[in-house]
Structure 1
Amino acid sequence: MDAWPFRHLVLRTPRLELRPDDDEGLLELVEEARLGVHPPDRMPFAVAWTDVPAEDLGRNALQHFWRARAALAPAGWTLNFLVRFDGRVIGTQEVTARDFAVTGEVDTGSWIGLRHQGKGIGTEMRAAVLMFAFDHLGATRGRSAAWSENAQSLGVSRKLGYVEDGTRRVTRRGQASDDVRLLVTRDRFIRPAWTLEVAGLSGCLGLLTQGEPAE
């Protein structure tokens, strides 16, 4: 029995490799974040983690990913895939679920370094984890969200078949903002022309798809 089977899990697309986070890869991710994730006058995240001083960003990020990794259990889990392009970590694609054995629903979130944006990578990595969830975990629904003015993220969602599923008003940098909820079902998902390659999943399934509902 492998104590941490997720170290063997890998998703491959035509350009990208996605693996659950490891410490060496997280150090690369932090360096990418320090090079810039978004223009200073924009905040694409619900939690403004990029607003902290540069000397705190790395430690805060590592602690965030460590907490998610340590808490993984069938009743609730988050997989933070490190996204590699040409062998280097350029961002992260998150997949989260709670009571997945009952709900069949996953939620996704992601970011890539600013210097890699505008090349279709965001669409490719989101499509990868949706195919992973629908085809390999048995998910029936996928959720995401984006600020109402985040045309880039909303565009990715539209390409993949998401529809709007309401909004909520939340605080961002001290100002009220509209967060657009998005939903895609397995039958509405617009699949890319390429095929996802998945390896190392068998040892992980029991921790992702089985378990009693969380209290």
Structure 2
Amino acid sequence: MLFLALLNVSRRTLPCHTCEVLNVYWPLAQLKLATKRLELRVPNDAELSELAQVAANGVHEPCEQPFLTPWTDLPPGERALHVMQQHWSRRGAWSVEDWALELGVFRGGQAVGMVTLKARNFSVLREVKTESWLGLEFHRQGIGTEARTVLLSLAFEELGAVTALTEVFQDNVGSQGVSRGLGYRPDGISRDVLAGRVVVSDRLRLDVSDWATPDPTDLTVTGLAKALPFFSA
């Protein structure tokens, strides 16, 4: 019942003056990254509810567990609520020293998943980390690779990052392939505990010197200029 109530509230249309105030004080709401096929943007609450439903429908096969935090093991309604609450939490906790930019991924206006670019002490380290998930029905269509490419273009070419990091379970063939195909190189391993057992992840690193810049005509960035101070970029 709580989840349904949240969906109903999120679908309400904000008054124009409310949108104007939001754009002044939270310019990230206007950030959009578009290719010929995809659009990555900060979702409003109505779009966030659509993304949450994608997660509720399934993110991976039942026999898989690609995430260290096992949120995809939750029942569908709780899984959807997790997506919404995490987005609100990260938005509310944003600071220039510690930020996490969550973008909805849309194809032809349809919500297909989310990607995250996050950093701590970015003004000094110039390092970012990436996360992502797609609805199961959108796997193996090149969407993950394209969305990560867009995210890395934002990091390297617009924000001035020097390194992008990611961690991937060694048996996560799909994510391993996306990362290595984009030029990530091995950077050691991490050992963690998941459900009472040891799991090993490959740490992967992509330096800006190894970044192959995509065709600039394939990406349009809007709404970034006013948001740059939020990244300390």
Tell me the TM-score normalized by structure 1.
0.93
Q: Which residue of 1 aligns with 2:232?
A: 209
Identity over the aligned pairs, expressed in percent?
A: 37
Structure 1 residues 19-42: Cα deviation after superposition (integer angstroms, max 9, x where no partner):
013211110011111111001111
Once the two structures are TM-superposed, the CA of residue 193 in structure 1 deviates from its matched residue by 4.2
Report the count of equivalent residues: 210
Q: Distance in 1 between matches of 2:224 and 2:214?
A: 22
Gaps of 5+ in 2: 1-22
Distance in 1 (CA, whole Å) between partners of 2:37 and 2:48 is: 20
| Equivalent pair of 2:105/2:115 in contact (CA under 8 Å) | yes
Q: What is the RMSD computed on CA atoms of the aligned residues?
A: 1.3
1:67 aligned residue: 89
The Cα shift of 1:16 comes to 0.4
Q: Is 2:47 the partner of 1:25?
A: yes
Q: Is the 8 A contact 1:159 1:190 kept in 2?
A: no
- Counterpart of 1:199, as a letter, is T
Alpha-carbon distance in structure 1 between the residues aligned to 2:80 and 2:143: 24
Q: Quote how far apart the aligned CAs of 1:85 are.
A: 0.7
**In the alignment, which residue of structure 1 is the partner of 2:114?**
92
Name the aligned partner's letter for residue 201 of structure 1. L
Instruction: Give 1:45-194 correspondences, 5 Å limit.
Output: 45-193=67-215
Alignment match, 1:197: 220
Give runs of ≥4 in structure 1 deviating > 6 Å.
none
Three-state SS of the structure 2 residue aligned to 1:69 is helix
1:15 and 2:37 aligned: yes
Structure with more contact order per residue of length (Cα contacts < 8 Å, sep ≥ 6): 1
Deviations 1:143-166 (A, max 9, x none): 111100111101101111100101
Deviations 1:54-113 (A, max 9, x none): 232222221111110011111110000000011011100100011111011110010111
Q: Aligned AA for 1:47?
A: T
Q: Encode CA deviations 1:160-190: one digit per residue, 9 max, x unaligned.
A: 1100101011122332111111100111013
Q: Give ranges in structure 1 of 5+ residues lacking alignment.
A: 211-215
- Residue 213 of structure 1 corresponds to none
Cα distance in 2 between the residues matched to 1:59 and 1:115:
20
Which is helix-richer, 1 or 2?
A: 2
Of the structure 1 ranges 188-197 and 26-35, higher mean CA displacement relative to structure 2 is found in 188-197
Q: TM-score, normalised by structure 2?
A: 0.86
Which amino acid in the other structure matches residue 203 of structure 1? K
Q: Secondary structure of the residue that 2:225 maps to in structure 1?
A: coil
Alpha-carbon contact 1:145-1:182 (below 8 Å) kept: yes
**Is residue 117–residue 128 contact of structure 2 (8 Å, CA) maintained in 1?**
yes
Q: Confirm or deny: 8 A CA contact 2:55 2:83 kept in the other structure.
A: no
Letter in 1 for 2:225: S
Larger radius of gyration: 2
Q: Secondary structure at the match of 1:89?
A: strand
Q: Distance in 2 between matches of 1:2 and 1:18?
A: 21
Matched AA of 2:164: G
